Structure 1
């Protein structure tokens, strides 16, 4: 069920958000190469703090997550609450020592329109590489000064657009078991957490992307990363999508989880452009038969 839309309307984007050079850069590196982009989204009215507080109150509880911001890079399980409501957290973000994420904001019609307009600009480049653009979703991050989003991974193709304030995203190679063990991937795809164990030695392989307003970064599927906010409060918009390849990667991990229960040591899924089709189909058969739990 869609969330009630906030009371304001959608201000149309008057010009393209990504220019021709940006789309060419994206096409060159997508889907496996992390890279920086420029955007012209600017201070969109839907991304002002009052609008975001109103949106957060309209979204279902399952679509809102917010926690203390003074976290280490690596944590064990979910972080602690900050003791505030979500609206208080957002409106007081400059001093609430918190980070918040509003998930699947496309549940509200104005945000769905914004997401659609952004992905329409790069859909040709996406579909040329990974086929149909599936399951478009958007997330909004609101962070206090110096807040940390701990080390984790995500199953989607993702572009993070910095809107207000600054932050630094630090990424690590996707699919490399040094940075996220195969068993951790498999656990995530069968209902486990996305947070990962941290080791300071990982920094030897880090790619660091400082982001100011008007800058964006592409994150490959399941690339481990953490984010450290700058000295001011921050708002970022994450636009995500899935592909048949990303779903096959997820299903192969879940299938491997089942194989591991029988004492096997399954091979991890191959990265794009390999298809991982056999295990993906195997998992779909088991799921349809009710045997994938």
Structure 2
């Protein structure tokens, strides 16, 4: 199976959210280096609590995740709930002791237009390095004061825009087995969980990125990270995309799992600009003939 085709971005938008300086900075550091950017989306009607509660109440339950906010950086398994509904949680987020994420907001036409307009602003910088922008997705995080998103990684290129409140995004080097072992990568790309094991010694390799309203942080593909919210409730918008590189890295990891189960000790995929195509093509060939899921 081939990676998805590029999306045609023709959506119109008003004033730029990322100015010339932000786009230049992003171009310099994309796709491998975490950095903080300025943005002009500090307020938007679709990102107010009432609008977000309404969105949460009309999208599928499978697109919603929410739980207690008073969590440690490292957890085993999924955290517990607060007993509130998602609408109640969002409307009372300042006192709900919760963390919530609305996934794939692009399934709602108004939020899809917002997402695509933002990605369209930085598409030239993205495609100059990693090729066609693929599979655009958006996620909105609504968090109570001092809430924690535990240590994990994600398969997308990601820019997290802070709308209200503040956060500290703590990132670690992507692809380094000290922070996420190769076996964990391989299991994840074969259907496993994204949560990672934590120990305090890992902080020696941390890159802390504090952000407030009007600021955003870039997160490279599969860079381990955790997030701590500041003393006020927080709303953040995550705009994400995939690339041929990210799909090849994922398929190379999945092929390595097959090799490891067969008794080999495969070399981990290279980070960008390494292509990882031989293993990716091998895994895709096995998937095409039905030998892997």
Aligned positions of 1:26-65 closer than 5 A: 26-65=26-65
Structure 1 contact 13–41 (Cα < 8 Å) conserved: no
SS in 1 for 2:24: helix
Indicate the SS of the match to 2:54: helix
Provide the TM-score with structure 2 as the length reference: 0.95
CA distance in 1, matches of 2:61, 2:103: 10
Contact 1:140 1:236 in 2 (8 A): yes
**What SS does the corresponding residue of 1:57 show, helix, strand or coil?**
helix
User: Within 2, Cα distance between the matches of 1:269 and 1:79?
Assistant: 31
Specify the SS of the correspondent of 2:135: strand
Equivalent position SS for 1:239: strand
Uncovered stretches (5+) of structure 1, i.e. residues with no partner: 1-11
Deviation at 1:13, TM superposition (A): 5.5
Q: Distance in 1 between matches of 2:279 and 2:85?
A: 43
Q: CA RMSD in A?
A: 0.9
Cα distance per residue 1:124-181 (max 9 Å; x no partner): 0000000000000000000000000000000000000000001100000000000000
Aligned to 1:268: 268
The count of aligned residue pairs is 282
- What residue number does 2:230 align with? 230
Report the Cα distance in structure 2 between the residues aligned to 1:37 and 1:196, rounded to whole angstroms. Answer: 27
Q: Deviations over 1:199-244 (max 9, x none)?
A: 1011111100111100000000000000000000000000000000
| CA–CA distance in structure 2, aligned partners of residues 287 and 62 of structure 1 | 26
Using the alignment, how far apart are the partners of 2:24 and 2:41 within structure 1? 18
- Provide the rounded CA distance (Å) in 2 between the counterparts of 1:56 and 1:146: 22
Question: Which residue pairs with 1:6 in the alignment?
Answer: none
Q: How does 1:56-205 map to 2 (within 5 A)?
A: 56-205=56-205
Asked whether the 8 Å contact 1:166–1:213 carries over to 2, the reply is yes
1:14 deviates by 3.5
Q: CA deviation digits over 1:75-101, x for unaligned, max 9?
A: 111111121111111111101100000
Q: Partners of 2:55 and 2:242 in 1: how far apart?
A: 24
> How many angstroms does 1:53 deviate by?
0.7
| Aligned mates of 2:13, 2:198 — CA distance in 1 | 40
TM-score for both structures, normalised by structure 1: 0.95
Question: Per-residue deviation at 1:193?
Answer: 0.7
Decide whether the 8 Å contact of 2:164 with 2:236 is kept in 1.
yes
Helix, strand or coil at the partner of 1:79: coil
Question: Runs of 4 or more off by more than 6 Å in structure 1?
Answer: none
Determine the C-alpha separation between the residues in 1 that align with 2:209 and 2:183.
28
Asked whether the 8 Å contact 2:138–2:238 carries over to 1, the reply is: yes
Question: Residue 277 of structure 2 aligns with which residue?
Answer: 277
Q: Describe the SS at the equivalent of 2:235.
A: strand
Shift of residue 42, structure 1, vs aligned partner: 2.0
Structure 2 unmatched ranges of 5 or more: 1-11
Residues 249-260 of structure 1: pairs in structure 2 closer than 5 A: 249-260=249-260
